[in-house]
Each structure stands twice: as structure tokens, then as C-alpha cells.
Structure 1
């Protein structure tokens, strides 16, 4: 079954986002694809993060995250935000502190800043459900998705 399970999971499509977070002076960003809108009223967004990620620690401590939609021409940001050095991820790109304190990338389709309202651990990832407390939108573009990406995250970090 594992072979057919993986084959089916590779066909599931997701958006590819940059998730940023901050706790005090510590910042980080990572690629996130397991993301979903949960509610419109209140506006709730869910993101799944593996517990061994540095961002997981920062979100757990600060209870905040920012989720950035990328356009399909921004694949170069994927390598940047997969890297191990948090400072290098943010060097030489434009960003500012959002209302939550999370880094907000200037060059993206848009950003949703969230305060965590609920945390669930149904499997090997933590689901952070955040209420949107601020939104920035920079214009309509074609969003980056797993259809544009050479790989598939199957939940192994």
C-alpha cells in the first residue's frame, strides 16, 4: 500500500508559501505547503509544521506566524527559505516587521499575519490554526503551487 499511497499523495496539489515567524529577536522563514483556510468568520488559516523545524519552536513560543503567497515566477525564493541560516534567508531582500512582529516580505502576492488560536497534533505534524489579524495584498498574479515545483513534500523532515 505504501507505494500507491505515495503515488496518490504526490498528485495532491497545494500552494507553496513562505511562512515567517519571530520570537523576540529570533526570526525564521520556511517553505510551507500544507496550508488551508479553515473559516471565514473569524478568518482562520491552518498550517502544518513538523516539530523538528526551528519555525515550530518560534511559533510555539510567540503564537504568531505570517504566511506569504508567492507568484509562479518566484521559485528562487524556495532555495533561500530552505536554507539553514535564518539571517541569510532575510539578507538582501525587502521585508519589514508586521503588526505581529513577524517578518513580512515586500515582494509577494500578499501576506496574512496570524495569531495562533489553536494547536493540534493529530500525527507527525503540528497544526497551527491562526486568526488573521492583518493582511497585505500587492496584486493579482498566478500563485506558485506544487504544480510548479520539482518535488513533493511527503511529511518527512
Structure 2
């Protein structure tokens, strides 16, 4: 495999998102870059989550989430929600309820209110397919791209 794989993968164009998950007892949020639309009818989005992540079990139990689009200038927010060492990540940020009741990051550019349709294993992650229940624009700005984060997630070391 090419030694340039880590750099070449940064040319894949995708944004940076905060995904909030909820079950009956808990809420949590994490940063994700692997999000995409997969269907117009019904409207479906897909994202990738590590099954070892704290949010994974909450998502599996609750079956609902919000996908919050970050702005280019919101790198500190991306870093905060990407830090696995913070247990109560949602404290200190402003949240509002989506129609389904899941939390939406008020500072985000836009959000999608979703319910999990199904999922499938994909290497060291799981692909989650969600049906969009609602969506809205919250703030003006330019969306952040994954390439704007440099090596914030430490992924350069994961490409052997």
C-alpha cells in the first residue's frame, strides 16, 4: 500500500459534524467526518462510528441522533467533541431540542434530526443509516472540511 495513503485520503471531500445521540437515560455527542447522503426518497444519511466509542451503545439503545454541520471556524468545537477523554461533552454548549427530542447544537450551521434505520459492520467502524425526520439551517457560514482539521484526530498514524 502507498505510504501516501494518509495524505491522499485527505483529498476525499467531506465535512465535519457533531453527532448527538440519545437514549432514555443518557445523551452524548462526538465528532464525525464520515457522513453522506445515501437516498432522496426516503431521505437517508449514513455515518460511520467506532463501536468502541462511548456514544455507540447510547445510539444503539436509543436509535436517534442529530447530525450537526460545523462551520470552518469551529475547529475548537470539533476538537472538543472528538476528545474521547471527556465524559460529559455536552456541558458548556448551547443545545435545543429537535422535533424528535434529540439535542441539536445551537452553534452549528445546520442540523438533521434522524432515527436509525439500520447499520452494518465496516472494518473497525460501523456504518449507520438514518432516516431524516427534520432538518434546518441555524446559522450562516462556510462548512468545515475534514482537510481543515489537519491531523486533529491522529489518523495519520492509523495508516500503516
Structure 1 length-normalised TM: 0.88
Q: Determine if contact 1:34/1:47 at 8 Å carries over to the other structure.
A: yes
Match of 1:133 in 2: 133
Which residues of 2 match residues 84-123 of structure 1 at below 5 A? Answer: 84-87=85-88, 89-123=89-123
Q: Determine if contact 1:146/1:152 at 8 Å carries over to the other structure.
A: no
Q: Which one is further off, 63-72 or 1-10? A: 1-10
State how many pairs are aligned: 155
Q: CA deviation at 1:152?
A: 6.7
Q: CA deviation at 1:63?
A: 1.1
Q: CA deviation at 1:30?
A: 0.5
Match of 1:47 in 2: 47
Match of 1:68 in 2: 68
Q: Determine if contact 1:10/1:152 at 8 Å carries over to the other structure.
A: no
Q: Any stretches of 5+ residues in structure 2 without a counterpart?
A: none
Q: Determine if contact 1:95/1:104 at 8 Å carries over to the other structure.
A: yes
Match of 2:8 in 1: 8
**Distance in 2 of aligned mates of 1:69 and 1:56:** 19
Q: Determine if contact 2:11/2:147 at 8 Å carries over to the other structure.
A: no
Provide Cα deviations, 1:45-88, integer angstroms capped at 9, x if missing partner.
0000011011111111111111000111111102221233342x
**Distance in 2 of aligned mates of 1:10 and 1:137:** 27
Q: CA deviation at 1:102?
A: 2.1
Secondary structure in 2 aligned to 1:77? Answer: helix
Provide Cα deviations, 1:1-46, integer angstroms capped at 9, x if missing partner.
1524334223323201001101113111110001100011111000
Structure 2 length-normalised TM: 0.87
